[in-house]
Structure 1
Amino acid sequence: MSSPYLPLGLLYLVQGFPYGLQSGLLPVLLRTQGLSLSHIGLTRALYLPWLLKFLWSPLVEGGRWRWLVLSTGALGVCCALCSLLPLQAGVSPVAWLLLLMHILSSLQDVAVDAVAVGVLRQEQLGLGNMVQVVAYKLGSVLSGGGALTLLGLLGWRAIFLILAMGYFLAVLSACCSPALKGENQQGDPKGHASCDLRLRDLVGGVLRAPGTAWTMAYVLIYKLGEQGSLTMVPLLLLDQGVSPAELGIWSGILSLGFSIAGSCVGGLFLRTGRSVLFLLRGLFILRLSCLLLQTLLLSSLGRDTSIVKVGLFLTLLIQNFLAGVITTATFTLMMHCTRQAPSRVQVSHYSLLSSLEVLGKVVFSAVSGLLVDSLGVSSSFSLFILLSCLPLLHLQSIPPTLH
C-alpha cells in the first residue's frame, strides 16, 4: 500500500462502473424494449455531470480527502439502492440513479486526478496513466458486458450488491494508503485555500499554460469518428439477430479486454521514453484503416450475414485495442500539459482537459444514433471516416512543449 498504483487502480476501477452500466447494459435493455437508436443515443445526456467537472474542481480541491471518501462511499450506497429495484420496474428509476452516480463519480474523479498529478513523478506518468485507463476500462467491463452476460445467472440484485462491495473496498483501500492520504494532507493544508482562487487566476493559470489551447482542441476531436462507430456497430448487430448475451461477450468483455490490452501496451511503450507524437501518428493511421474496413463490411451486412458478423466483431476487437493505446497516450499527454501550469491551478487545469475529453466523446455518441437514423448506415459511417482524419491533421501543429 506504500505504492500509489494499487489504491489509484482500485479508485479508477470503481469509477468505471457507471460508464459500463450506461454504455453496456442500458442500451441493450432499451433496444430489446423497442426504443429507436435516436432515443438510445440521447440517453448519453446522463453523462452531463462529467462536462461540469471544471466548474466544481475548486470546491473539491478545498477538501480532496473528504470528497474522495464521501463520493466513493455514496456511490456504493447508490448501487445498493439499485439492487432493491426490480428489473420489471423499468429503466426510469435506474436512469435517475445512474445520473446521481455520474454526479458522484465526476466528483470522485476530480479528487483522484488531483492526487495522481501530485503523487506520480515524471517518469511514472506512462505507467500511472496505464493503471488509470486499464482500471477504468476493467471497471466498465465488469459493470457493462460482465453484468449483461451474468444478468440471467446471478440476477439484478446480486450484480449491484457486488458493485456496491467494490466501492466500499475502494474506500477502505484509500483510507489505508499512506501514499494517497499523505498527498491529500500535504496538498490541502488549510482545507479551503483553493476555494479562494479568483477568476483571473483560472484564466491566467489554466488557459495560458503552454500547449493548453492545442490540447483542448485535440481532446475534443481525437475520438469523434471512433465513438460513432463503437456506439452504433453493436446495436446494428443486435438488429441482425445477435443476442444480448453474445453482445455482452463480444462487445462487452472481449472488446474491452482488447482495449485493456491496448492500454497496457501503450503504457509499456511510453515507459521506454519514446515519443507520444510518434505513437499517436501511427495509431491514427491504423484506426482509420480499420474504420474503412468496418464500413465496407456494414455495406454487405444484409447479404452474407454470418461472415460479415464475424468480420465486424473482429474489427471491433482491433478498434478497441487501438483505442486503448490511444487513450493511454492521450491521458499522458494531458497530464504532461497540466504539469506546465502553475501548481495552484493544476487540479482545475486537468479537470478542464478531462471534461473536454468527455464532451467530445459524449456529444458525438449522443448524436450518432440520430445520424444513422436520418442519413443511413453508409453515409453516417462515411462521415465517421472523415472525422477520424481530423486528429491526424491536428497533430501536424503540436507545440514543441508537448513533444
Structure 2
Amino acid sequence: MSERSLLKSRMFWVGVLYFAEGFPLGIFYEVLPVHFRMQGIDLSDIGFLSLLGLTWTLKFLWAPAVDHYRHHRTWMLVVDLCMAAIMFTLAVYSEFGGWMWFAIALFTLLSATNDIAIDGYTVEFLNKREFGLANGLRIGLYRVGMLTAGGLLWVQPLVGWTGVYFLAAIILIVAGVSCRLAPPEPPAAKKSAVTANNELATLLKQPSVLLPAILLLSGLIVFALGTPLRLMGASTLAKAAPAIALGMICLALLSGVYNRRRSVRIDRSELVDGPVLGAFVEMSARRYFFPVLVFILTFKLADQTIGFMIKPFWVDAGFSARQIGIVSIQIGLVLSIAGGLVGGWFTDRVGVFKGLWILGLTQIISNLGYAYIAHVFPLPGVETAQPLNQQIMMYSASAVESFTQGLGTGAFLAFLMSIVNKRNAATEYAVLSSMFVLARSVAGWAGGFGAESLGYANFFLLSFLFGLPAYLLLPWVRKMLDSVDDDPGNAAVPGYKS
C-alpha cells in the first residue's frame, strides 16, 4: 500500500488514535508505580494513585465541553503537548516530592480529556459499517500503546528515570502531532442559540424530567467515590459504593419509565441542544434507551464476574506465578487482541446486531471450560505440581476465554459506537463507557463473595447463567439500532476508505 493510500485509510488513523490513547494510560499504570516504589515510596502512598485515576471514570462530567467546542484534533494535540511537558518536568526533577502528586493529577485529567476527544472524533469519523473492524484495531493498538509505555521500563537501567521520561515526552509529542494530522471531522450542524441558563430554566420547570439525568449522574459519581473512601479508611462505605451507585442507576431507569408511561413531554429545542446537560437529557428521553442501558450493564456480566477470580483459581490450582504470567497474561493478551480483530471483522460482515448476539454467546460459553476444570480436578494449593493433562486443559481454557472475550468486546464496542448520536458523540460515548466500567466493578466485587461461598466450580457455572438475561433485551437492542439516524450529519468523513 502506498503512503498516500495509507493516509487515506480510516483504519490507519484509528490505529494511530488509539495508540495515542493507550500510551498515557500505560505510563500511569505501568511506569509510575514502579518508579515510586524504587524511590522508596510507601505502598499506601502508591495506592493513592488509584484515586488520581478517578478522572477516567468521571470524564463524562466535562465531555460536553469537548462536544460544544469541537475541534477534536486540536484538543488531542494540546493535551498531548501538555502531557509531554509534564513528562519533561519529571525528567528534570525526577526526585519524589509533594509537587509530583499535582503533576500526576494534571496528567490524568489531560489523558482523560484526550480519551474524550479521540472517542468522539472516531465516532464521527467512521460510518456504521466500519465500527466492527475499527474496534478490533482499537483494542489491539490501545494495548500496543500501553505495552510501549511498559516497554520503557526495559531501557530504564540504561538511561535512568530521566531518560524514561524524556522518551515518554517525545512519544507524546509525536502522538499529538500525528493526531492533529488526522482528517478533519465532518462539519457540525449549526450551533444552537440555547445557553446553559436557558436549558437549566427549562429543566427546573419540569423536575420529573430532570430526575433521571440527576440520578444517572449521581450514581456514576458515587461509584467513583469508592476509591477515595477506601483510602480514607471508610472501608464499609467504600464497599457499599458500587451497590449504592447501581441502585441510583436503577432508580434512574424506573423514573424514566415512569415519565414515559405518563407521557411526559419535554421542550427538545431548549434541552437537546443545551451545552451542559443536553446530551444527558436527550439520551434519557430517547426511545428504547432504558432497556438498552440495562443491556449495556449486563451484556458482559458473565466474563466480568469471573474476571478477578480467574487468577486466584490458577493459584489455588497449584500454578506458579511464572506459569500464570506466561500463559494467562502474555499469551492471553495476544489472544484477546486477536479475538478483538476477528470479532470486529465478523461484526462488519454480518452486522452489529448479529455480531453482538453470536459473539456474545461465545464469551458466555467459554466460562464452562473453567467450570468443568474446577469440577473434575482437585485444588492442591499454592505452587504444587500438576499432571500434564490438567495443565493442558487449564491452558486451553485460558486461551479460549481470552480469545472469546476479545470477540465479544469487539462486537460490544461496535454496538456502543452505533447507538451514539454523532452530534453529542464525545459525551454520549463517555457516559456509556462509564456505565460499562461501573458494571465491571460491581461484578468483580460480587464475584469475590460468590466464589468464596459457592466454591469455584459452582461459581463458574453460575457465571455462565449471568450472561443470559441480557439476551431477553435483544428486541429493544434491535429497535435501537434500527432507529439510529442515518441522515447526512451522521455520515463518515468523505474521501477516505476503510
Both structures adopt the same fold (TM-score exceeding 0.5): yes
Looking at structure 2, the residues matched to 84 and 361 of structure 1 have their Cα atoms a distance apart, in angstroms, of: 38
Residue 104 of structure 1 corresponds to which residue in structure 2?
110
Secondary structure of the residue aligned to 1:272 is helix
> Which residue of 321, 325, 333 corresponds with 2:415?
333
Looking at structure 1, the residues matched to 305 and 189 of structure 2 have their Cα atoms a distance apart, in angstroms, of: 40
Do residues 358 (structure 1) and 363 (structure 2) align? no
> Which residue of 126, 133, 136 corresponds with 2:142?
136
> Which residue of 293, 307, 310 corresponds with 1:216?
293
Q: Does structure 1 retain, via aligned residues, the 8 Å contact 2:90–2:165?
A: yes
Q: Does structure 2 retain, via aligned residues, the 8 Å contact 1:54–1:352?
A: yes
> Which residue of 455, 479, 495 corresponds with 1:401?
479
Q: Does structure 2 retain, via aligned residues, the 8 Å contact 1:225–1:383?
A: no
Do residues 75 (structure 1) and 88 (structure 2) align? no
Q: 1:114 to 1:155 in 2, by over 3 A?
A: same
The offset of 1:115, in angstroms, is 1.4
Residue 168 of structure 2 corresponds to which residue in structure 1?
163
Residue 321 of structure 2 corresponds to which residue in structure 1?
242
Residue 257 of structure 1 corresponds to which residue in structure 2?
334
Q: 1:330 to 1:155 in 2, by over 3 A?
A: farther
Q: Does structure 1 retain, via aligned residues, the 8 Å contact 2:302–2:364?
A: no
The offset of 1:19, in angstroms, is 3.8
Looking at structure 2, the residues matched to 301 and 11 of structure 1 have their Cα atoms a distance apart, in angstroms, of: 44
Residue 179 of structure 2 corresponds to which residue in structure 1?
174
Q: Does structure 2 retain, via aligned residues, the 8 Å contact 1:50–1:358?
A: no
Looking at structure 2, the residues matched to 176 and 12 of structure 1 have their Cα atoms a distance apart, in angstroms, of: 14
Amino acid corresponding to residue 78 of structure 2 in structure 1 = L
Looking at structure 1, the residues matched to 330 and 147 of structure 2 have their Cα atoms a distance apart, in angstroms, of: 6
> Which residue of 287, 293, 303 corresponds with 1:226?
303
Looking at structure 2, the residues matched to 39 and 110 of structure 1 have their Cα atoms a distance apart, in angstroms, of: 28
Looking at structure 2, the residues matched to 73 and 18 of structure 1 have their Cα atoms a distance apart, in angstroms, of: 12
The offset of 1:278, in angstroms, is 3.4
Q: Does structure 2 retain, via aligned residues, the 8 Å contact 1:80–1:161?
A: yes
Bigger shift: residues 128-137 or 96-105: 96-105
Secondary structure of the residue aligned to 1:226 is helix
Q: Does structure 2 retain, via aligned residues, the 8 Å contact 1:13–1:135?
A: yes
Using CA pairs under 8 Å that are at least 6 residues apart, name the structure with larger relative contact order, 1 or 2: 1
Residue 348 of structure 1 corresponds to which residue in structure 2?
427
Amino acid corresponding to residue 168 of structure 2 in structure 1 = L
Do residues 187 (structure 1) and 267 (structure 2) align? no
Q: Does structure 2 retain, via aligned residues, the 8 Å contact 1:14–1:167?
A: yes
Amino acid corresponding to residue 56 of structure 2 in structure 1 = W
Q: 1:283 to 1:9 in 2, by over 3 A?
A: same
Secondary structure of the residue aligned to 1:16 is helix
Q: 1:327 to 1:298 in 2, by over 3 A?
A: farther
Looking at structure 1, the residues matched to 288 and 159 of structure 2 have their Cα atoms a distance apart, in angstroms, of: 49
Residue 116 of structure 1 corresponds to which residue in structure 2?
122
Structure 1 vs Structure 2: percent identity of aligned residues? 23
Looking at structure 1, the residues matched to 392 and 166 of structure 2 have their Cα atoms a distance apart, in angstroms, of: 35
Number of corresponding residues: 387
Amino acid corresponding to residue 392 of structure 1 in structure 2 = L
The offset of 1:107, in angstroms, is 1.1
Larger Rg, first or second structure (1 or 2): 2
- For structure 2, list consecutive stretches of 5 or more residues without a partner in the other structure: 1-6, 204-270, 273-277, 482-498
With structure 2 as the length reference, what TM-score do the two structures score?
0.63
Do residues 271 (structure 1) and 362 (structure 2) align? no
**What per-residue deviation string (whole Å, max 9, x for no partner) do you get for residues 106-150 of structure 1?**
211221122112111122222222222222122223334x45666
Q: 1:388 to 1:328 in 2, by over 3 A?
A: same
**What per-residue deviation string (whole Å, max 9, x for no partner) do you get for residues 268-296 of structure 1?**
11121241233234223333224425756
Do residues 299 (structure 1) and 379 (structure 2) align? yes
The offset of 1:344, in angstroms, is 3.6
**What per-residue deviation string (whole Å, max 9, x for no partner) do you get for residues 317-359 of structure 1?**
4332222211111011111222xx4x54343222211121222
Looking at structure 1, the residues matched to 430 and 466 of structure 2 have their Cα atoms a distance apart, in angstroms, of: 24
Q: Does structure 1 retain, via aligned residues, the 8 Å contact 2:356–2:408?
A: no
Residue 64 of structure 2 corresponds to which residue in structure 1?
58
Q: 1:260 to 1:221 in 2, by over 3 A?
A: same
With structure 1 as the length reference, what TM-score do the two structures score?
0.75
Bigger shift: residues 376-385 or 356-365: 376-385
The offset of 1:89, in angstroms, is 5.2
Secondary structure of the residue aligned to 1:54 is helix
Secondary structure of the residue aligned to 1:401 is helix
The offset of 1:44, in angstroms, is 4.7
Secondary structure of the residue aligned to 2:321 is coil
Q: Does structure 2 retain, via aligned residues, the 8 Å contact 1:281–1:392?
A: no
Residue 389 of structure 1 corresponds to which residue in structure 2?
465
Looking at structure 2, the residues matched to 154 and 235 of structure 1 have their Cα atoms a distance apart, in angstroms, of: 36
Amino acid corresponding to residue 118 of structure 2 in structure 1 = V
- For structure 1, list consecutive stretches of 5 or more residues without a partner in the other structure: none
Secondary structure of the residue aligned to 1:299 is coil
Q: 1:311 to 1:150 in 2, by over 3 A?
A: farther
Q: Does structure 1 retain, via aligned residues, the 8 Å contact 2:332–2:399?
A: yes
Looking at structure 2, the residues matched to 250 and 97 of structure 1 have their Cα atoms a distance apart, in angstroms, of: 36
1:11-22 matches, cutoff 5 A: 11-21=17-27
Residue 283 of structure 1 corresponds to which residue in structure 2?
362
Looking at structure 1, the residues matched to 159 and 379 of structure 2 have their Cα atoms a distance apart, in angstroms, of: 38
Q: 1:148 to 1:194 in 2, by over 3 A?
A: farther
**What per-residue deviation string (whole Å, max 9, x for no partner) do you get for residues 33-75 of structure 1?**
9999x99999654442222222211111123334222222223
Secondary structure of the residue aligned to 1:139 is helix
The offset of 1:17, in angstroms, is 2.7
Q: 1:357 to 1:42 in 2, by over 3 A?
A: farther
Q: Does structure 1 retain, via aligned residues, the 8 Å contact 2:152–2:164?
A: yes
